[in-house]
Structure 1
Amino acid sequence: MVAAHRLRADDLWRALRHALSRNQLRKARYINSFFPPFQGLNEDDLNLATGRPRQFLDDASPTDTHSTRAQRELMLYATLRLAAHDPQAAATWWTDASAHLGPEDQAWGWQQIALQGALNLNPQSLEWFQQVTPQPTDAEWLIWKTRVALRQQDWATVLDTLAHLPVTLAQKPVWQYWKARALEGEYRSAEALALLERVSQSPSYYGLLALEERGQELRLSPPPAQPDPEIQKETRTLLERPLRLYRLGLLPEAQREWNQIEPALTPLQHLAAAQQAFQLGWYDRSIHSADRTDLPKDITLLFPYPYQSQIQASASQYHLSEAWILAVIRQESRFFSVARSRTGAQGLMQLMPATARWAARRSGLKNYHAEEVDQPDTNILLGTYYLNHLAQLLGNPILATMGYNAGPLRAQIWVSAGIGDPRAFLENIPFDETRDYVQQVLYNQIVYEQRLHTVPSHRLHALLDELGAVR
């Protein structure tokens, strides 16, 4: 069958390993079906390695790794499965087993154990990364090796690993910032300052970190010049249909129409479109269009403050920062009051139905009905109650933001590994979505504090220092 499909056995084994390493079991079984009888993976052994990898490895002997290719692949796969839950146990087993394998398989096993160790925030992960020779070119692996080295302040490893990243990745503000930190750690201050100066131009969490570390503060730009009346008229004509649909309350249809028209707009038309959406209270489109233009940014459009009375009331009731509440709402829904996520989260603060019911019951909200979650005052009340609950539970607003996105249990697990340098701690959040979410909320919060004139100097570092003090 292999010959009939013009596939070599080695190609099949590589494809099978790739599928198994990504938990693509259906694909792996399909690939396995191309092997002649008794030459591929045994289905019972595959099920055992998948569901009970520790038992599979306990029943195996490391010296069995030479017996057949199928047995070797199953041991590699079971080691990966074990590493996802207990990287220390996987590393212990692999230390003995890998001695009976060739260099390529040894490196592959350590590569997977190191990556899983990093995702589990295991302090020995860097040691496992360093077992892998030669160093892989896989970008995800290099990034996680960098993150682990950051937590241990191994600046030489940070610089070496960043040097192997693809250029497009290495030039992103995140890795330029950390390269600057590593250069500073290696006593190359002039190079670090020059790099921080470039990063500080980025309107982002990393740009703000770099700005404050250069002894400067965020300064909001004045509003740009308004588009002339002719541009405004042209834009209003182009957007006539989505704007009319929005006024009629046909929001999904309005958004689809807007999205079809917007890519063809000029920079000035983007700005005019943002202003027109803002005037209607269609804030998610005003933010989106204001961000699309390459003209100077209009902070009022990018960081609006609707629902002011409701936010102020909830902030006062639960002793929370207005800027923090605004930052969360902007990230969750961009102030779209009837927003729905694929997972079922609803409203301005994207509350799951069960969370909304729990918050309504705990906060004493009488006669709550599920459809009320789309009402801004109710959604803000319940969302801020939940934020306050998380802040009390986790002991810090940044951790509460983390728990708001990923769930409080995950936040507690991540904190249990130790915080250390809070910047490196946030960089090592295992979920990409949560890491980006927390950093964006922090940036939003500082901008809103500037808008509300409540921000002291070096505010981002002050928030991070408070996180670092959590025990």
Structure 2
Amino acid sequence: QYDTAYSLAAGHRIRYEDNLADFAEGEFLAGWIALQFQNKPDAALAHFRRLRQGVTAPISVARAHYWAGRALAKAGRDSDARAEYGAAGNLPLTFYGQLALQQISPKVRLSVPAGFKPGNSSAFRERPVIRAIWALADLGEQARLRTFVTSAADGLTDGQDYANLVQLVRDLGETGLALRVAKRGLQKNIPLFDLAYPTIPAPAFAGNGTAPETAMVLGLTRQESEFDSQAISRANAQGLMQLIPSTARMTAKRHGLPYDGRNTLLDPTGNMRLGMAHLSDVIADFAGSYVMAIGAYNAGGGRINEWVGRFGDPRAPNVDVVDWIERVPFSETRNYIQRVLENTQVYRAILNGREAPMTLAADLKRGTYTTLAAAQFTSDPNSQRASSPPAPQVAAIRSSPIVPDEDEKRPQIDPKPKAEPKAKSAKESKAKPKAKGKSKAKAQAKAGAKKAKPNARVEATPKCKPGSKSAQCRKGRPG
């Protein structure tokens, strides 16, 4: 069956000029199958190098270099493998770059500088496009405003101007768009780290059990809502941590927390209290496994149980966790697990005085694996729970300069991207959700392959209404 899978992936005949995303998936799958299931490292290396030649987004570049390193290591070419890991490690904001750094040294540290900060520039405020953005905000023309913001971002190369634009968009209440603009700045190698990785004070943990670490809460929130407290997805997931009402109601009852429907979900503090309690639940449900818990937060615990039955338990010592993640059949969930884990590494550094040990390898293996745990893996809140050991403390080796984390499939800023449907858990729906974003090559190959400030209240950024005279909405407005 692996021969069939390889033939389907390797024969994709897709040119990167025609469909970059499908080209990237086809080449990656062919290389991955050849390496991990056919034990053909030389054939795999050829595919990973073709992948590198076609892609430009940091996530895909790091992926190509990391897996090329794995292929070279399996072929016994350790020096060449180290060079590939080094190339991937030059992208330390990415999941594969972080993995590569720890291949070079398990004791590597991640350093995250602040980057450019917003300033007060009259020349910037008087630019025609900036004046137009303010005018559209006064008129309530949000859709056109987003188009102008995207145009302004595309034309900027100066770091200070970019930081000013991000702050302007934040002041207008477009939190998600501001974060996407900051990410685009990183993609241009403009250091906007604090703006691209914003922090908000997490409320004190009010649930039962163990509080999830703040770095993971922020990393998950960045991926879920881009810190837009008013975000509502097509699947009706709401607020900062994108909770579906049925999940929020169940979590509130289990932990004795207040719940008043949308009033709670769109309140930043109320949403985060429930979201942190739910995250604590899924971590405990899977005996401390971060990989399984993050996947369950996105796709539901039932899906994790299904994948454990198909691919093995990622907590088991004989299971390659990176392979397990690569085998997740939902591209949204696979991407989600990687993004939340990489975000967590960055936020640990930011919250630890801008530098912290890289512990992704330890995070991948978190979770207590026993015969009992393997037999009882479940999203049932009444299941037996175990806590994972703390990540090890390590010595300091500074990583390479940090660069951005945009996906190859999202090379441009979407002025107002449609919210992705949130996969429902088995408790909420018995209908099988469709995997989103799966390429043709992916479908064919899969067929053949078989704490922050305690008690602090989180404040939402107000949107400026047309003609608003408030100090917040007048801030930075051209004269």
Answer yes or no: same fold by TM over 0.5.
yes
Q: Partners in 1 of 2:230 and 2:223 — Cα distance? A: 15
Q: How many residues align?
A: 339
Greater helix content = 1
- Residue 194 of structure 1: CA displacement? 1.8
Is it true that 1:444 corresponds to 2:343 in the alignment?
yes
2:274 aligned partner, one-letter code:
L
Indicate the SS of the match to 2:110: coil
How many Å separate the matches in 2 of 1:227 and 1:341?
33
Shift of 1:442: 0.8
SS in 2 for 1:320: coil
Per-residue Cα deviation, 1:57-89 (whole angstroms, up to 9, x for no partner): xxxxxxxxxxxxxxxxxxxxxxxxxxxxxxxxx
* Alpha-carbon distance in structure 1 between the residues aligned to 2:162 and 2:341: 26
1:261 paired to 2:153: no
Q: Which position in structure 2 is the counterpart of 1:84?
A: none
* Superposed displacement of residue 195, structure 1: 1.8
Question: C-alpha distance in 2, partners of 1:355/1:217?
Answer: 37
Structure 1 unmatched runs, 5+? 1-124
Partner of 2:199: 305
1:2-401 counterparts in 2 under 5 A? Answer: 125-129=1-5, 135-137=11-13, 139=23, 140-152=25-37, 154-156=39-41, 157-162=43-48, 167-169=53-55, 172-202=61-91, 203-215=93-105, 216-224=108-116, 229-234=121-126, 237-241=131-135, 243-244=137-138, 253-254=141-142, 256-264=144-152, 265-268=155-158, 269-278=161-170, 282-293=174-185, 294=188, 296-306=190-200, 308-310=201-203, 312-313=204-205, 318-366=210-258, 368-395=260-287, 396-401=289-294
* Cα shift at 1:267: 2.9
TM-score normalised by structure 2 residue count: 0.63
Greater Cα shift, 435-444 or 151-160: 151-160
C-alpha distance after superposition, 1:346-377 (max 9, x if no partner): 11111122222222222223463344211112
State the alpha-carbon separation in 2 of the partners of residues 225 and 133 from structure 1: 45
* TM-aligned CA distance change 1:315 to 1:199, over 3 Å: farther
> CA 1:347–1:367 in structure 2 vs 1: closer, same or farther (change >3 Å)?
closer
Cross-structure match for 2:406: none
Question: Cα 1:415–1:244, aligned 2, differ >3 Å: closer, same or farther?
Answer: farther
Q: 1:279 to 1:173 in 2, by over 3 A?
A: same
Structure 1 pair 212–272 and aligned structure 2 pair: CA distance change class (3 A):
same
Cα offset, 1:133, TM superposition: 11
Higher relative contact order (Cα pairs below 8 Å, separated by 6+ residues): 2
Q: Are the counterparts in 2 of residues 177 and 206 from structure 1 also a CA contact under 8 Å?
A: yes
What SS does the aligned partner of 1:218 have?
strand
SS, match of residue 292 in structure 2:
helix
* Residue 290 of structure 1, CA deviation: 1.8
Q: Is the 8 A contact 2:163 2:195 kept in 1?
A: no
CA RMSD of aligned residues (A): 3.2
For the pair 1:462 / 2:346, whether they are aligned, the reply is no
Q: Is 1:151–1:421's contact at 8 Å kept on the other side of the alignment?
A: no
- Displacement of 1:404 in angstroms is 1.0
Q: 1:149 and 1:387 mapped to 2: Cα distance? A: 36
Aligned-pair CA distance for 1:238: 4.1
Structure-2 change in CA distance of 1:342 and 1:158 (3 Å): same
The offset of 1:399, in angstroms, is 0.9
Deviation at 1:228, TM superposition (A): 6.5
TM-superposed CA distance for 1:410, in Å, is 1.0
| Aligned equivalents of 1:401, 1:240: Cα separation in 2 | 39
Q: Which has the larger Rg?
A: 1
- Residue 210 of structure 1 and its aligned partner are, at CA, apart by 1.8
In the alignment, the residues of structure 2 paired with residue 323 and residue 262 of structure 1 have an alpha-carbon distance, to the nearest angstrom, of 29
Partners of 1:337 and 1:375 within 8 A in 2:
yes
Specify the code of the residue in structure 1 equivalent to 2:365.
D
The answer on whether the counterparts of 1:147 and 1:428 sit within 8 Å (CA) in structure 2 is no
Aligned to 2:307: 414
Percent identical: 27
Going from structure 1 to structure 2, the CA distance change for 1:337 and 1:225 (only over 3 Å counts) comes to: closer
TM-score, normalised by the number of residues in structure 1: 0.64
TM-fit CA distance, 1:460: 0.9
Distance in 2, matches of 1:218 and 1:357, equals 38
1:426 aligned residue: 325
